[in-house]
Structure 1
Amino acid sequence: MPELPVVVVGAGPVGLAAAAHLAARDLPVVVLEAGADAGAAVARWNHVRLFSTWSELVDPAAARLLAPTGWRQPAADSYPTGAEWVDRYLRPLAAALAPRVRFGARVVGLARRGRDRVVDGGRDTEPLTVHVRTASGDERITARAVVDASGTWGTPNPLGGDGLPAIGEPEAADRIAYRVPDLADPAERERYARQRIAVAGSGHSALTALVVLAELAEEHPDTRIDWLLRRGAVGTTFGGGDADQLPARGALGQRAMAAAAAGHVRTVTGFRTARVDREDSRLVLESVDGHRLDPVDEVVVLTGFRPDLAWLSEIRLDLDPVLQAPRGLAPLIDPNVHSCGTVYPHGVAELAQPEPGVYLVGMKSYGRAPTFLALTGYEQVRSVAAAIAGDHEAAARVELVLPETGVCGGAGLFDEPADDAGGCCAAPVDSALTRA
């Protein structure tokens, strides 16, 4: 009887790295990706540059797998855009892993074969069943283990200040975007030009949006931006400037500060949206205290992301009640306690779940915590792959030395910095990038 495969959910940077580590250990692996190509989520912000250099964005096992294909690693000290990360690394890696990677395969459920989450018997002996939806119909894949690297991009936080959609938010979806505008796209540029736009959020994605929209306002002076902050003051929103440990991140903050001071941006602090009303063809936002803004034409919501746990409802998870991250990992990443640089590398010990053979990795493992480092994800899957292979010594070993910047990272619009600049990041994620 053939050995059951390990199923990896998601063909993003961490999912493909997991597959590379599993393949290196001669374990059968199937990668299921809902999108049509590798890095489908990254491609959604392809116009944004990362704060990480290439040296921090390529997994070692992946590089070894790619080497025989003639792949050439990009200059270690340069900073790619999302599009470059996909084109020059993720797509070649998926091709090198073929035929292990399946596209257009959305995972809609996970269970223990023949048992719902209530049944105790057989949970350590029966395999897992992965329920998959494809264009040709539904199917089930029997797996020895499942590595969930599906990320959080598909579940952005809503505009509503209490974590739920504001009243009227779903009905106004045609005027609300949950990503940084790509103004290199003529249609998108026309959508925002000469409009009044509300930008909600205080992280790097919000700062990037301020920069690009303020530049649009220079070209079209009748473009206006309302910047909505849930916090009571701007405070340290713009970062450390020249003193920032990540020069590229500091440069973005300085550009955003200049944009906010240039006269096209009106800053509204202490605004937590409760309601969205239509007024003719425009939207009126109302805060929890009843304050109503002047009507706007478009709203850009950049308030973070959260994990999609719906398809995991029939397996047993032990998640932190606040962060929705694995309980063993949550104390290490709690943004109320930790800041950039204080999270150490971790692996299977922190990620293991009560359900045998199930692991949440990558940004999904951070739940609602704010920042994530690609290198951290690569170390996670190295450890998890070793544990699945039965190499518990390697699984317990820490093989990653983090840069001084720790887990603080992200992506933003900036001019590529000088050679001595450092950085880190994964995809645009949560508060260091988007949470208000």
Structure 2
Amino acid sequence: MMRSLYSGVAGLKIHQTKMDVIGNNIANVNTVGFKSSSVNFSDTFYQTISPATGPNSTTNTAGTNAKQIGLGGLVASITTNITENGGTTTTNRALDVAINGESFLVVNVNGEQLFTKSGALNVDPSGNLYCTTNNGIVQGWMADDDGNIVKDIATDLKIMTAKQTSAAPTATTAATLLGNIDPNDKQLTPTLDANGNITGGGVPVTFSFYDKLGELYTVKLMITKNPSDPNATTTSSVVPYTARVADVYNSEGESIFVKKTEQADGSVKYSSSGAQISFGNKGAKFGIDTSLNDADSGIVNGVNENTGEFTMKSSTIPLLFNSQSGNFSAVDATVGADGSITANRSNQQYAGNCVNFAIYQGEDAEHVGNDSTFPQYDATNDNGGIEVDFSSLTQFSKGGTSEVTYKRGDKDGKNAG
């Protein structure tokens, strides 16, 4: 009786061990790099009551097996699953990694090299890549100055050095507009002066770019219906719109065309900065219409001295869509009497899809001529500056609201700066 009770207790004890291990696995289900365990059982010693006997030819009887009573079970081993992959999840951190298969990271903990499955990584104040779960510095091979990995002794991975913390800025040379121009959008109706020139109205569209020094600028375009065809109808299969530059802002949101001057009494006066830009038209320069003056309104050389408001010279580019499909047809192009479309650019790489934008000069020294911080346009090769790609735009009806965004760089994401 007592023997059977002891065997049952032994079974309960090893079952408790198994439940402990399972519970620990569950508790660490979200622990980064955790390695689960499993329990293996074995039976324990047997008590022999009578030994085995062999066959007896004299009595013509067979042998008998030994009589043994088991005394319960025991835990043979607890095995750690070091090669099995755990569940992967997104952490939204650029340095975190997931380790596949039987691979490990080598880390240095207090001078001792250890292996870990934890891929939760960060950078310490010294620039070393380290594992956040054990504070071990990740070991690996470093690259030489040419970017070649030197497969030598694994050392601390110092990924943030003075040389690596910054890089020379690259100017943006391409931008891509994305979205839809709704033909029923009321903002598309332009405001015209007595001569039929566009003075206002339009759907605002912006894109940003970096100059050679890494400063961010934003260009504001306005897209309107063709003033010669305000109802956006045509005898050809093309629906015409126009695109024009309304303003360009620096990283502080101030127009590059206006200069602020603080007066002795603390007030601010505004004037033209002299900045000029080009938008298609083979690099023809334009800026504030400095011919406008109105002493009563405080307008001097096209700029209101008190508010900074100004009048921009108009430089519009034709933007064409297919009237049947609503898809983009061409930009900076001419429509013939027969409905044919001829791109105005000589550079076939961009003709019909891109308009060139460039900033040429300003009153500040860094914005003058070839020493400008902005990408420059070469009229000889019809290239340079910033190529603004319109070919991803559409002209579908979507409730009377136009939605246009952009991305820096061309369609392939190159030249974004």
In the superposition, the TM-score normalised over structure 1's length comes to 0.17
**Of the two, which has the highest radius of gyration?**
2
In the superposition, the TM-score normalised over structure 2's length comes to 0.18
Q: Which structure carries more relative contact order (alpha carbon 8 Å, separation 6+)?
A: 1
